[in-house]
Amino acid sequence: MKKNFTCINCPLGCQVEVTLDENREILDISGNSCKLGEKYVRNEIKNPRRMLTSTVKLLGSKYYSVPVKTKEAIPKDKIFACMKEINEVEIKAPVNVGDIVKRDIASTGIDLVATANRTN
Ligand code: SF4
């Protein structure tokens, strides 16, 4: 089986082709111009992760919400669970960039942090 990826590590956007066996083990990787492309597709196949950005409800402020992101990339299959928790979060102003909004979001071991300052 062959899978195609666009490497997102630099603006070149190499088209990388991966050949897998029936157990999804990698047999061959081609089309990447450097090792970063190989590392990228190995991660995409074995442990795909994404940074998650969103907003949470803010109380006690003229602003309705505050933008947030996961401090690190989370497993792709946890995105739905994270969004469900994010939608239930309410925090009180003031909030500063980097403040932890929710610890260990969706049991990923990764915190959700604010990405903007919000006063009352
Ligand atoms: S494989 Fe290397 S050169 Fe190609 S897009 Fe990825 S980082 Fe850039």
Q: What tens digit of pLDDT does each residue of 29-86 get?
A: 999 999 999 999 999 999 999 999 999 999 999 999 999 999 999 999 999 999 999 9
Separation of alpha carbons 96 and 98, rounded Å: 6
Q: How far is the CA of 14 from the centre of ligand 1 (A)?
A: 5
Q: Closest ligand 1 atom, CA of 12?
A: 5
Q: Which amino acid is at 93?
A: A
For the Cβ of 34 lying below 6 angstroms from any atom of ligand 1, the answer is yes
Where residue 1 falls among pLDDT bands split at 50, 70, 90?
very high
Ligand 1 atom 3, closest CA: 33
Q: CB-hemisphere CA count at 13 Å for 95? A: 31
Residues 116, 93: Cα–Cα separation, whole Å: 11
